[in-house]
Amino acid sequence: MATMRKYALFLATLVVAFSPTAAFGHTSVVTTTPLYKTTLSEMPAQVSITFTDDLMEIGERKVNTISITAPDSSEIKISSISIEKSIITAELPSAIYEDGTYLVSYRVVSADGHPVSGSYELYLNAPSAPIKNSSSIEQNHGFLHIHQTHIIQAGVVLILIVLWWGYRRFNREAGE
């Protein structure tokens, strides 16, 4: 019986220690404001992106950036960029913006120190031809991508429950 306990404890420790949870430490997009691929009737005063992890700030270095490309491929001058934990926000100047597809690009560094970049589209009144280098972040909005760590953690917990159940059942049968 003591051997079974040691075996179950050893196995549970291995499962937790070698769980791939830490391997998926890169941050990913949770939501964007305005939502990606939204058709707007007027340009917003700000654009913000919320990530799964807090963003890193290194003194005065600009390690987290957002840029916005207009339908004519010119870059919109951003008034300011601010970071609040896991949210990066870009203030846009009030101006007359042309209708069409705008590309919001970002590059951020999360608390784990790894840079992550991507982009997504916004539409002012109607989409225009896609902007070159428009690599959409739709993949980052997928359920599995956002909840990958949670699913792995739930799997580890499920394995531990099954091991505990098996251990209890073995002890009951051994006691009979």
What per-residue confidence (pLDDT) applies to 139? Answer: 38
Residues 6+ apart with CB under 8 A from 104: 32, 36, 47, 49, 66, 67, 68, 119, 120, 121, 122
Does position 21 have pLDDT exceeding 60, yes or no? no
pLDDT band at 137 (very low <50, low <70, confident <90, very high): very low
Does position 119 have pLDDT exceeding 50, yes or no? yes
Does position 69 have pLDDT exceeding 50, yes or no? yes
Share of the chain above pLDDT 70, in %: 74
Residues 6+ apart with CB under 8 A from 157: none
pLDDT band at 105 (very low <50, low <70, confident <90, very high): very high
Asked if 54 contacts 30 with a C-beta cutoff of 8 angstroms, the reply is no
